[in-house]
Amino acid sequence: QVYLVESGGGLVQAGDSLRLSCASSGGTLFTYAMGWFRQAPGKEREFVAAISRRGQYTNYQDSVKGRFTISADLAKSTLYLQMDSLKSDDTAVYYCAARYTTSDVSTATMSQQYNYWGQGTQVTVSS
């Protein structure tokens, strides 16, 4: 069983930055590929970014490319999402997710591909 706990959300103004963290226990980032998803009110959960196990490969939703950066500290089993130039459209609950895989290159973009989820952290961007 893998447990994921997100932190770092908050209320910011458009143009500001935030860094989300996701602490993992019960498994390591050497074994699990990780991802960030978000869900805005009245909308479906959507993919934001993913990173392969061991952290070599990344993948982003088009709307966050160049603004968000996903990274992982393997020693600390912690996933990060650096969010810069935030927009009001980025307002959502952000979830981290873990996916067991034997692939060192896989960056899954579909929520159904992930096995474990955190409880989410709220990000609100005021315009």
Cα–Cα distance for residue pair 30/45, rounded to 1 Å:
26
DSSP string, 89-113: GG-EEEEEEEEE-S-SS-----GGG
Q: Is 10 a residue whose pLDDT tops 80?
A: yes
Cα–Cα distance for residue pair 53/72, rounded to 1 Å:
9
Cα–Cα distance for residue pair 49/47, rounded to 1 Å:
6
Q: What's the whole-number average pLDDT of the chain?
A: 95
- CB distance 41 to 17 below 8 Å: no
Going 126 to 88 to 6 to 54, the CA torsion angle's sign is negative
- CB distance 98 to 114 below 8 Å: yes
Q: Which has more confidence, 28 or 41?
A: 41
- CB distance 119 to 3 below 8 Å: no
Question: Mean pLDDT across the stretch 15-35?
Answer: 91
Cα–Cα distance for residue pair 89/127, rounded to 1 Å:
9
Strand duo 121-126 + 10-13: pairing: parallel
- CB distance 93 to 20 below 8 Å: no
Q: What is the pLDDT of residue 49?
A: 98
Q: Is 29 a residue whose pLDDT tops 90?
A: no
pLDDT in tens, 92-116: 999 999 999 999 998 999 999 999 9
